[in-house]
A and B are shown apart, each in its own frame.
Chain A
Amino acid sequence: EAAVTQSPRNKVAVTGGKVTLSCNQTNNHNNMYWYRQDTGHGLRLIHYSYGAGSTEKGDIPDGYKASRPSQENFSLILELATPSQTSVYFCASGGTGQNTLYFGAGTRLSVL
């Protein structure tokens, strides 16, 4: 079974602070994704990656950076957190070809 682990599971941050959300997958998947989930918007893609060293902008990348230092790890970075970034963030991994996605448990972020 595919395993995607996110940390932290919950985070409270202050406006203007830096936040790093981490994601680790043990499935040797090439593709990794960061989504945020908000009521009324469903899941929206922030950044994704095709492999180590690669990051691509998703549909709502503004205010976020991503880093993929290795096949296993994909981070989402909020350099200057704002209250509008309060949300639940999901990381996912998927292989090439049949790109079945496996999600982590999510990180609940509150920016005060």
Chain B
Amino acid sequence: GDQVEQSPSALSLHEGTGSALRCNFTTTMRAVQWFQQNSRGSLINLFYLASGTKENGRLKSTFNSKESYSTLHIRDAQLEDSGTYFCAAEDPGNTGKLIFGLGTTLQVQP
């Protein structure tokens, strides 16, 4: 959506390499969530951040609410990391609504 801008829209990586995905917000958001949509179409929650940095295995995410952006770093990419990654920000009005970006499609190649 307009309030949540994701980049890049598409990304190709070789196995073992890494990169960063980014979300920019046009207004202050309360929190951010990152999801992976896998090849079966399932949406899997990766991170919830109200601030700071979280790490889980080969994934690390940061949310800078003051500068209105969030990043998702993938290191040592594996074939199963392929899919579409969405960030979603919590509506600043505390309604419980999440505003989704349009996603980054990641293809990991051997």
Q: Which residues of A does B touch, CB under 8 Å?
A: 31, 33, 35, 40-45, 48, 50, 56, 58, 88, 90, 92, 94, 96, 98-103, 105-106
CA–CA, A94 and B91, complex, Å = 14
By size class, the interface of chain B is: 20 to 34
Check if B15 is an interface residue, CB within 8 A of chain A: no
Q: Of B42-50, B64-72, B74-82, which stretch is located at the interface?
A: B42-50
Which A residue's beta carbon lies closest to that of B41?
A106
The residues in B between 27 and 68 inclusive whose CB is less than 8 angstroms from any CB of A are: 31, 33, 35, 40-45, 48, 50
CA–CA, A111 and B45, complex, Å = 30
B26 vs chain A, min Cβ distance (A) = 15
B108 vs chain A, min Cβ distance (A) = 21
Check if B14 is an interface residue, CB within 8 A of chain A: no
Count A-B contacts at CB 8 Å: 56
A30 vs chain B, min Cβ distance (A) = 9
B103 vs chain A, min Cβ distance (A) = 6
Check if B25 is an interface residue, CB within 8 A of chain A: no
Q: Are B97 and A58 in contact (CB under 8 A)?
A: yes
For A43, A88, A94, A96, the residue with the greatest tally of chain B CB atoms inside 10 Å of its CB is: A43
Given contacts A88-B41, A90-B43, A101-B88, contact A42 B96 (CB under 8 A): no
Residues of B within 8 A of A45 (CB): 97-98
8 closest A-B pairs by CB:
A103-B43, A43-B100, A42-B102, A100-B48, A42-B100, A31-B96, A106-B41, A99-B96
Q: Give the residue of B1, B41, B45, B90 whose beta carbon is less than 8 angstroms from that of A42.
A: B1
CA–CA, A103 and B100, complex, Å = 14
Q: Are B96 and A50 in contact (CB under 8 A)?
A: yes
Q: Are B41 and A105 in contact (CB under 8 A)?
A: yes
CA–CA, A58 and B1, complex, Å = 14
Q: Are A101 and B45 in contact (CB under 8 A)?
A: yes
Interface string of B86-97 (1 = CB under 8 A from A): 101010000111
Q: Are B101 and A42 in contact (CB under 8 A)?
A: yes
Q: Are B98 and A106 in contact (CB under 8 A)?
A: no
